[in-house]
Structure 1
Amino acid sequence: MTQWRLLRGDVLVGELSEYGCDQPYFLARFTPGPGWESVRALFEAWAALRGPDPDGARFVALAKPLQDLELTLAPVDGRQPSLQLFKDCIVRINGSEARLRY
């Protein structure tokens, strides 16, 4: 399974290690890095999104600040290209668990 580095520029936000699949998501363990605290509240708020959101306004209000960070996922082995969050993939982090869709 693929291992990823979640980056904000050159700062390591955390690492994701895929371990399974729950279509359409890949399941991963998340290990925080030095840049995690600066983005943690945004990911926690997004992970807490539940219930109906008919017009998508709640989703946008929570996802837009994350998108503005221009985070990328870089594969540890370098065999795949880096992915930009909300352009090439979506990552939801909840504690030590992550769900990745690309």
Structure 2
Amino acid sequence: MIGELSEYGCDQPFFLARFSAGPGWESVRALFEASAALRGPDPDGSRTAAVLKPLQDLKLRLVPVDSQQPSLQVLKNCMLRIDGAEARLRY
């Protein structure tokens, strides 16, 4: 488990959440930090793809605590950006 998300609001099309790091966070921290640092134009998408591909290859999943919703694969079924203690989720 890399951490927990606690939803607190919405900024369409994203859900806003607080992020609490878990025991697996340090192993993926650099990948999420690189993703959060993406800014500016990327006309052909190559810069974005180079940053997101290693994160996508991990096949991380969001698993709801209540178990009533299916899990979502990060960067396949949803977009997740973690920047420090803040997260943005779109699915």
TM over 0.5: yes
* 1:88 Cα offset (Å): 0.6
State the alpha-carbon separation in 2 of the partners of residues 99 and 81 from structure 1.
Answer: 19
* 1:81 Cα offset (Å): 0.3
1:89-100 matches, cutoff 5 A: 89-100=78-89
1:64 aligns with 2:53: yes
* 1:54 Cα offset (Å): 0.3
Q: Deviations over 1:49-89 (max 9, x none)?
A: 00000000111001000000010000001111000011110
Q: Equivalent residue of 2:44, what SS?
A: coil
Q: CA RMSD in A?
A: 0.5
Q: Equivalent residue of 1:39, what SS?
A: helix
State the alpha-carbon separation in 2 of the partners of residues 69 and 88 from structure 1.
Answer: 14
TM-score (normalised: structure 2): 0.98
**Which blocks of at least 5 consecutive residues in structure 2 are unaligned?**
none
Percent identity over the alignment is 75
State the alpha-carbon separation in 2 of the partners of residues 82 and 90 from structure 1.
Answer: 13
Q: Which residue of 2 aligns with 1:48?
A: 37
**Structure 1 or 2: more helix by fraction:** 2
TM-score (normalised: structure 1): 0.88
Equivalent position amino acid for 2:40 in 1: G
The match for 1:22 among 3, 8, 11 is 11
**Structure 1 or 2: more strand by fraction:** 1
**Which blocks of at least 5 consecutive residues in structure 1 are unaligned?**
1-11
